[in-house]
């Protein structure tokens, strides 16, 4: 069961990455239409941003 803390840390890190990405307001169409002042980017660009923030 030693992998449970690692999974928990990974989940917290993934949550932080997504919060930062959404907070930057450079998001895909589905998020952009729900946010004021957001810049719509392609899914591939959003994926690149995820990788860059890892």
- For the full predicted model, state whether its pTM sits above 0.85: no
Whole-number Å distance between alpha carbons of 43 and 51 = 12
pLDDT in tens, 12-29: 998 999 899 899 999 999
Nearest CA-CA partner of 28 in 15, 16, 45: 45
For the stretch 20-28, contacts whose Cβ atoms lie closer than 8 Å and that sit 24 or more positions apart, written own/partner, are 20/53, 21/46, 21/49, 21/50, 21/53, 24/49
Contact 18, 46 (CB under 8 A): no
pLDDT in tens, 29-51: 999 999 999 999 999 999 999 88
């Amino acid at each position: 069961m030693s992998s449970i803390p690692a999974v928990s840390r990974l989940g917290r890190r993934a949550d932080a990455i997504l919060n930062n990405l959404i907070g930057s307001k450079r998001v895909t169409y589905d998020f952009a239409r729900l946010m004021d002042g957001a810049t719509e980017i392609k899914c591939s660009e959003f994926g690149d941003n995820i990788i860059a923030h890892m």
